[in-house]
Amino acid sequence: MPTSVTMPRLGESVTEGTVTRWLKQEGERVEADEPLLEVSTDKVDTEIPSPAAGVLTRIVVGEDETADVGSELAVISGDGEEAAAPAPEKQAEPEPEPEPAALDTPSTEKPVEEEAPAPQTAAPTGGGEGTAVKMPALGESVTEGTVTRWLKQVGDTIEVDEPLLEVSTDKVDTEIPSPVAGTVLEIKVQEDETADVGADLAIIGAAGAAPASAPAEEKPAPAPAPQQQAAPKIESAPAPDFAPSGESYADPAPEAETAKDPVAAEAKAEPPAPSQPRVEQASPNGAGDAGYVTPLVRKLAADKGVDLSTLTGTGVGGRIRKQDVTDAADKAAAAKAAPAPAAAAPAAAKAPAPKPEASPLRGRTEKLTRTRAVIARRMVESLQISAQLTTVVEVDVTKIAQLRNKAKADFLQKNGVKLSYLPFFALAAVEALRQHPVVNSSIDQEAGTVTYHDAEHLGMAVDTPKGLIVPVIKDAGDLNLAGLAKRIADVADRTRNNKIGPDEISGGTFTLTNTGSRGALFDTPIINQPQVGILGTGAVVKRAVVITDPELGEIIVPRSMVYLALSYDHRIVDGADAARFLVTMKERLEAGHFEGDLGIA
The residues assigned a catalytic role are: 570, 574
Q: Would you tell me the crossing angle of helices 398-415 and 481-496 to the nearest 10 degrees?
A: 70
Nearest to 286 by CA among 299, 271, 269, 273: 299
Distance of alpha carbon 472 from alpha carbon 492, whole angstroms: 10
List Cβ<8 Å contacts ≥24 apart for 285-289. Answer: 285/23, 285/35, 285/256, 286/246, 286/249, 286/252, 286/253, 286/255, 286/256, 287/252, 287/256, 287/311, 287/313, 287/320, 288/255, 288/256, 288/259, 289/318
* C-beta separation of 8 from 69 below 8 A: yes
* C-beta separation of 183 from 204 below 8 A: yes
* C-beta separation of 593 from 462 below 8 A: no
Distance of alpha carbon 408 from alpha carbon 380, whole angstroms: 40
Q: What is the dihedral of CA 571, 575, 580, 582, to 10 degrees?
A: 90
Strand duo 449-452 + 441-444: pairing: antiparallel
Nearest to 52 by CA among 124, 98, 117: 117
List of residues 6+ apart from 178 with CB closer than 8 A: 133, 152, 158, 159, 160, 161, 162, 163, 164, 204
Residue type, 346: P
Distance of alpha carbon 453 from alpha carbon 442, whole angstroms: 8
Nearest to 530 by CA among 546, 553, 511, 558: 511
| Separation in Å, CA 192 to CA 25, 49, 348, 547 | 22, 9, 60, 65
3-state DSSP assignment of residue 438 = helix
Distance of alpha carbon 45 from alpha carbon 427, whole angstroms: 36
3-state DSSP assignment of residue 422 = helix
Distance of alpha carbon 296 from alpha carbon 303, whole angstroms: 11
Cis check: omega of the bond before 238, within 30 degrees of 0: no
Strand duo 131-134 + 200-205: pairing: antiparallel
Backbone angles phi, psi at 73, to 5 degrees: -105, -35
Residue 599: CB atoms within 10 A of its CB come to 11
| Separation in Å, CA 131 to CA 187, 195, 245, 262, 439 | 12, 18, 43, 45, 51
| Separation in Å, CA 332 to CA 259, 304, 324, 328 | 24, 10, 12, 6
List of residues 6+ apart from 189 with CB closer than 8 A: 135, 147, 195, 199, 200, 201, 202
Beta bridge mates, 568:
389, 533
3-state DSSP assignment of residue 72 = strand
Strands of the sheet containing 45-49, edge to edge, are: 45-49, 35-40, 16-22, 66-68
